[in-house]
């Protein structure tokens, strides 16, 4: 894909152990506390405990050593103690019996994490069937690290979820390098989680969604999703291409939560629901791509939401006509004034889709303070829409509604191109074709700016992130560019 190199570049420049530096540098407003599980990364390598092994050629009557490994990952996981490491050797493991075949580790401790990981360079495959609940159940888990596993249906057999954590709180867990795909329900289904990192995981073709959780309780707290792909939700069910019986399967979708939640360097594409949908307070989305999702691209509900250095395009995934969906949606419920920021974001729509490219508080009655800065909103059938309860601070944005006199509806009135250029909505706002390199709808696009774009050097430094979606430093010319990319 044209933008695939974005994430390779970012990963090379920002290794995992620099998480605290990244949080400070990417403009999440300081809402995310220092990550306690970052300390846990060191603890997992402290050498406490024993290392055990599982192999397809092993036996559960063995002692679990490298020379005499166990055979069943579920059996092995129940024999771990704090500080232990379980290495699942390469090969294919059939999971079908409830609950013996489900990996269910006990809690670790702050000084002695439990680690379950696939063999380095030979990632094992956990293949489920017989409508098994999940491959891994981390309900009640704490101080746990999961690494380098592949989870999938066994040849299209009924198999529900990759990782579940809905029957008890999940605390201090790091999940890294997993490939979860072709499941009937969810890739990761987690309810109450605290201090969770999901790093460099690929979750695709899950019938109910890639990552999310049910409502009730405090929900998701102190969560980082980084370097992941959450795509093609709904495009698989029971061995076929889908869709299944589930309504609007999202790439990422969580119910009201305490937060904070950070989603970074992640893409969500071709989901039959929304790309990224967070009802958590203090959700920060940056350096992400939400492309060609059938419903909303990105949706924020909670106070403190922020989107920066992010590309949103292809809403509707090539399907035109009247539509309720939008590239970016901000809808705050009751509970006081909610505040949101959208800075250096590129939103592109297709006028064949009869909808708004962006809207805030279309139906909501709660007051919202919204900062919209250095953002491109282009190609929509309708104008950018801000409801009457939105107090909008909009400056240095580029609006482009082809053939439409009204570009923005805000403050209870419409704004034409001349009125925007005259500063009636805010300083530095422009109208015109942004001159994208290769815009697309239902396919991969390139939204870097061509020479002559009115967005070049036309942005503001106020609140702007220090780099762009490609990881290039800002500014690179005479001033800051508008949009997700710095030319």
Q: How many CA atoms lie within 13 A of 78 on its CB side?
A: 11
Torsion of CA 371, 376, 381, 383, to 10 degrees: 30
Residue 27 pLDDT: 56
DSSP state of 17: G
Q: Which domains does the chain have, with CATH numbers?
A: 33-259 (2.160.20.10)
Contact 426, 395 (CB under 8 A): yes
The series of mean pLDDT values per 10 residues for the chain, 487 residues long, is: 37 34 47 39 56 98 98 98 98 97 98 98 98 98 98 98 96 98 98 97 98 91 98 98 96 96 98 98 98 98 97 98 97 89 98 97 92 98 97 98 93 97 98 98 97 98 97 95 97
Determine if the peptide bond prior to 243 is cis (ω within 30°): yes
Quote the distance between the C-alpha of residue 46 and its chain's center: 31
DSSP β-bridge partners for residue 269: 291
Spatial distance between the Cα atoms of 243 and 44, rounded to a whole number of angstroms: 40
pTM exceeding 0.85: yes
| Separation CA 229–CA 251 (nearest Å) | 8
CA dist 478 and 417 (Å) reads 25
Q: Using CA atoms, how far apart are residues 112 and 304, in angstroms rounded to an integer?
A: 35
Quick check: helix, strand or coil at residue 273? coil
Q: Which residues fall within 8 angstroms of residue 63, CB to CB, at 6 or more apart? A: none
Give the pair of three-digit tokens for residue 67.
Answer: 């020379």
């Amino acid at each position: 894909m044209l933008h695939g190199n974005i994430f390779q570049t970012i990963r090379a420049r920002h290794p995992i152990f620099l998480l605290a530096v990244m949080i400070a540098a990417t403009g999440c407003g300081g809402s995310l506390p220092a990550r306690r599980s970052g300390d846990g990364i060191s603890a997992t390598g402290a050498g406490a405990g024993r290392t055990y092994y599982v192999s397809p050629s092993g036996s559960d009557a063995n002692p679990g050593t490298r020379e005499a490994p166990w055979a069943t990952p579920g059996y092995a996981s129940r024999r771990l103690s704090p500080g232990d490491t379980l290495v699942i050797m390469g090969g294919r493991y059939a999971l079908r019996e409830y609950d013996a075949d489900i990996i269910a580790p006990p809690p670790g401790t702050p000084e002695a994490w439990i680690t379950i990981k696939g063999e380095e360079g030979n990632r094992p495959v956990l293949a489920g069937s017989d409508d098994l609940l999940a491959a891994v159940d981390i309900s009640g888990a704490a101080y746990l690290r999961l690494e380098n596993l592949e989870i999938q249906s066994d040849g299209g057999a009924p198999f529900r979820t990759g990782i579940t954590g809905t029957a008890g709180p999940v605390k201090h867990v790091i999940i890294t390098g997993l490939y979860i795909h072709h499941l009937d329900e969810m890739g990761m289904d987690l309810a109450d989680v605290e201090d969770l990192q999901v790093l460099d995981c690929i979750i695709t073709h899950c019938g109910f969604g890639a990552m999310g959780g049910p409502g009730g309780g405090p929900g998701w707290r102190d969560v980082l999703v980084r370097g992941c792909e959450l795509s093609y939700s709904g495009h698989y069910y029971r061995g076929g291409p889908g869709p299944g019986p589930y309504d609007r399967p999202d790439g990422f979708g969580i119910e009201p939560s305490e937060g904070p939640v950070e989603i970074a360097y992640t893409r969500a594409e071709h989901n039959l629901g929304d790309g990224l949908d967070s009802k958590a307070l203090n959700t920060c989305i940056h350096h992400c791509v939400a492309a060609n999702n059938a419903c909303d691209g990105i949706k924020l509900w909670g106070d403190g939401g922020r989107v920066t250095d992010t590309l949103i395009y292809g809403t509707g995934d090539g399907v035109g006509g009247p539509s309720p969906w939008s590239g970016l949606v901000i809808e705050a419920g009751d509970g006081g004034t909610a505040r949101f920021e959208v800075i250096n974001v590129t939103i592109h729509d297709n006028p064949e889709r009869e909808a708004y490219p962006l809207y805030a508080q279309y139906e909501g009655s709660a007051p919202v303070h919204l900062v919209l800065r250095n953002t491109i909103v282009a190609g929509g059938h309708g104008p950018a829409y801000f409801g009457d309860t939105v107090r909008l601070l909009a400056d240095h944005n580029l609006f482009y509604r082809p053939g439409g006199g009204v570009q923005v509806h805000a403050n209870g009135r419409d704004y034409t191109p001349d009125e925007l250029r005259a500063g009636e909505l805010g300083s530095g706002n422009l109208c015109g074709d942004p001159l994208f390199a290769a815009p697309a709808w239902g396919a991969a696009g390139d939204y870097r700016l061509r020479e002559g774009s009115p967005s070049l050097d036309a942005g503001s430094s106020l609140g702007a992130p220090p780099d762009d979606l490609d990881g290039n430093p800002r500014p690179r010319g005479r001033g800051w560019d508008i949009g997700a990319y710095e030319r």
